[in-house]
Structure formats: C-alpha cells, structure tokens
Amino acid sequence: MSAGATPTAALPGPVTRRTAWLAVAAALVALGAWILVVRAGLAADDDPGIPPVEVLVGAVFFGWPHALAAATAVVATACAAVGVDAPARLLAFATSGRRGRRDEWGAAMRAELASITASPRERLRFAAGCSLTALRRGWGRSPWIVAAACAPLFAALTVALSRASLHGSRTGSLWAVIYGPPQITLLIVGFVAAWAERSMRTGLEHAVAALAGILIGVLAAAIPEGALWAREAGVFLLDGDAPSTPLTAAGGALDALKATTLSWGLPHWLPWPVLGAAAGAWLRGRARAVT
C-alpha cells in the first residue's frame, strides 16, 4: 500500500431510480425467457392453438423466482459497486461483504487504487487483478464443508426414493427429489450464512457451494438409478412414463441426466441461492437497525 493511503470501507450505495428501472428490466427479461421456454414446451406437444393466457400463467408460475432473483442481483450489485469510475466500482463490488482479514485486505486494495491517479489503464489493470484474487481466494473452508455434506445427503435421498418407488407404485421418484428439497435447502443455507455473517456475499458463497454439492449428489445417484429403472420397469425415473419405443438402460440414464441438468433440476435451482442470501442479509440488517 502506498504511503499516506488510508484504508476505506466500501459503503453500500443507495438504490437510485435508474437502479430500480434496471431491476424491473432484469425481472421482465427473466419472465420473457420463461415465456419462450413455456411456449416451446407446449408447442412440442403438437398443440395447434396455444392460449396466450396459458403461456403467461406457466411463465409466471415457473419464472417468478428467476425474475425476483434477477431484480435482487441488480440491486445488490448496484449497492456494492460504488466508486468514482469503473475500476473503483469493480474493486468495490469484488471486495464488498467480506469479514475479518479479507475485509481489511479489500479496504487496503481500495486505498491503493485511490492512490493510482496517473493512468486509467493502470487503475483498471490493478482493479481487475485484485478482483480476480478476491473472487478466487475469499471463500474459506465452510462453503466446501456445506458442499461435502449436501452431496451424499442428496445422493442418499435420490436412491432411497428411487428404490421405494421402484418396489412400490413405480410412478417415478426423480421429480420428488429435484423439485422441492433442493430449493428449500438452498434457501435455508443462503439465509443462515448471510444472517450469521451479516453479508449477502457469504450467503451466496455457501448456497452456491451447496448447489454444486446437490447437483453432484443427485447426478451420481440418478444416472445409475435411471438405467436401473429402464432395465427393471422400462419407464423413466423422472415420472414413471413409458416411451413409445423400448427404453434401454442408456436411454434411462440419459433422461435422468437431462432432467437433472437441463429441464427440471438445475434451471429451477439457480435463483434460490440469491433469494436466500438476500433475505438473510436484509433481515439481519433490519434486526440490527431495530435494536
């Protein structure tokens, strides 16, 4: 750090009218994307007349978490990225929400950037390098512990529900695994971590790690279970439906993979780390303001 440079904290910026409009635009873009997805899904059923109301209702039903998360991300980014120019805003965003030594390091880097006034290019190079370091090294151990706990938990849940349904009604079990438990888990993990550390960033780091663990755990169990369902019952693991042609083990495994990563799993999990972390940080801030 340069002599005379004083570490400065990155204070959250206000929510301006421009930020609010950008948040609304982000939410509408997310809903628009879901309108296209729902319309494409209904068109795949060879329905000649698709009621627009049905498309809109489906988009709102499935897409409201994505719209809310998109708007929340815009507001959180605008509040964190405060500075006199683009390099200062970039560094403020990358170093905001830290605690302890990481926060002190971020304050020192922001002060160092403030002392660089000769070259805008040098300011940008310094801010980019520090931002990459902050994003790469600032996670700590606890998010990885969360991921390591979520992976076997959801693998065991996937296998248990699969075998129970396979030896019972055979109505499919993957749907019950990928739609509900992951969203609740991500919301709780993000909320608790953000509340405990008074930081949305901390909540996001833990919830994203949990999402990675959930995805790995479900995939590790669902792919072989999908193949087993194809061999034993000739139906899909997702919902117990039978295809028009005989289902092979490879086909059952591939359907489980696609259901988890492309259609019903991962796309529906993505908003919940943002929502949980934002809720935890916001409510903790409100609680502190009241007390």
What average pLDDT does range 6-35 have in this prediction?
79
Write down the pLDDT at residue 27: 97
What average pLDDT does range 149-177 have in this prediction?
91
- Confidence check: pLDDT of 286 > 50: yes
What average pLDDT does range 115-126 have in this prediction?
85
What average pLDDT does range 162-182 have in this prediction?
89
Write down the pLDDT at residue 182: 96
Percentage with pLDDT > 70 across the chain:
90
Using 50, 70 and 90 to split pLDDT, how confident is the model at 10? very low
Write down the pLDDT at residue 12: 54
Residue 177 exposed, middle or buried by CB count within 10 Å (0-12, 13-18, 19+): buried
- φ, ψ (nearest 5 deg) of residue 129: -65, -45
What average pLDDT does range 168-173 have in this prediction?
83
Using 50, 70 and 90 to split pLDDT, how confident is the model at 48? low
Q: Give the single-character DSSP code of 197.
A: H
Residue 181 exposed, middle or buried by CB count within 10 Å (0-12, 13-18, 19+): middle
- The pair of structure tokens assigned to 182 is 């992951």
Residues 103 and 113: beta-carbon distance below 8 Å:
no
Residues 246 and 240: beta-carbon distance below 8 Å:
no
Write down the pLDDT at residue 225: 94
Q: How much of the chain is helix, strand and coil, in % rounded to 5?
A: 75, 0, 25
Q: How far is CA 196 from CA 107, 152, 273, in A?
A: 22, 25, 15
- Confidence check: pLDDT of 118 > 80: no
* pTM recorded for the entire structure: 0.84
- Angstrom distance (rounded) from CA 167 to CA 232: 10
What average pLDDT does range 272-284 have in this prediction?
94
Q: What does R_g of the chain's alpha carbons equal in angstroms?
A: 23
The string of pLDDT tens digits covering residues 198-238 is: 889 899 999 999 999 999 999 999 999 999 999 999 999 98
Percentage with pLDDT > 90 across the chain:
48
What average pLDDT does range 101-109 have in this prediction?
78
